[in-house]
Chains A and B, each alone.
Chain A
Amino acid sequence: MENFEPIIVAFCCHYCAYTAADMAGSKRLSYPPNVKIIKAPCSGKIDAIHIMQALQKGADGVYVAGCLEGDCHFKSGNTRAAQRVSYIKKLLEEIGIEGERVEMFTMSAGMGERFAEVATEFTEKIRKMGPNPIKRAAKAAC
Chain B
Amino acid sequence: MITAERKPMEEILEYVRPCQRILLVGCNECVTVCAAGGRKEVGLLSSALQMAAMKEGRTLEVKEITLERQCDPEYVEELASQVGDAEAIVSMACGCGVQELARRYKSMRVYPAVNTKFMGASERQGVWAERCQGCGDCLLGITGGVCPIARCSKQLMNGPCGGSTKGKCEISQDVDCAWQLIWDRLKALGVEDRYEENIPAKDWRTGRGGGPRKIIREDLAQ
Closest residue on chain A to residue B54 by CB atoms:
A134
Q: Are A96 and B52 in contact (CB under 8 A)?
A: yes
Q: Once bound together, how far apart are the Cα atoms of A97 and B48, in whole Å? A: 10
B96 in the interface (beta carbon within 8 A): no
B50 in the interface (beta carbon within 8 A): yes
Q: Are B57 and A95 in contact (CB under 8 A)?
A: no
Q: For chain B, which range describes its interface: under 10, 10 to 19, 20 to 34, or 35 or more residues?
A: 10 to 19
Q: For chain A, which range describes its interface: under 10, 10 to 19, 20 to 34, or 35 or more residues?
A: 10 to 19
- Determine the main DSSP class of A at the interface with B: helix
Q: Once bound together, how far apart are the Cα atoms of A94 and B49, in whole Å? A: 10
Q: Are B51 and A94 in contact (CB under 8 A)?
A: no
Residues of A within 8 A of B8 (CB): 94
Q: Once bound together, how far apart are the Cα atoms of A94 and B8, in whole Å? A: 8
Residues of B within 8 A of A55 (CB): 51
A47 in the interface (beta carbon within 8 A): yes
In chain B, residues 142-164, which have Cβ atoms closer than 8 Å to a Cβ of chain A? Answer: none
Residues of B within 8 A of A140 (CB): 57
Q: Are A56 and B57 in contact (CB under 8 A)?
A: no
Closest residue on chain A to residue B42 by CB atoms:
A49
Q: Once bound together, how far apart are the Cα atoms of A134 and B54, in whole Å? A: 5
Q: Contacts A49-B40, A94-B8 hold; do A141 and B57 have CB atoms under 8 A apart?
A: yes
Which of B43, B50, B51, B56 has its CB near the most chain A CB atoms (within 10 A)? B51
A1 in the interface (beta carbon within 8 A): no
Residues of A within 8 A of B51 (CB): 52, 55-56, 95, 97, 134
16 A–B contacts, CB within 8 A, in A order: A52-B44, A52-B48, A56-B54, A95-B9, A95-B13, A95-B51, A95-B55, A96-B55, A97-B55, A134-B51, A137-B54, A137-B55, A137-B56, A138-B57, A140-B57, A141-B57
Chain B residues in the interface with A (C-beta under 8 A): 8-10, 13, 40, 43-44, 47-52, 54-57
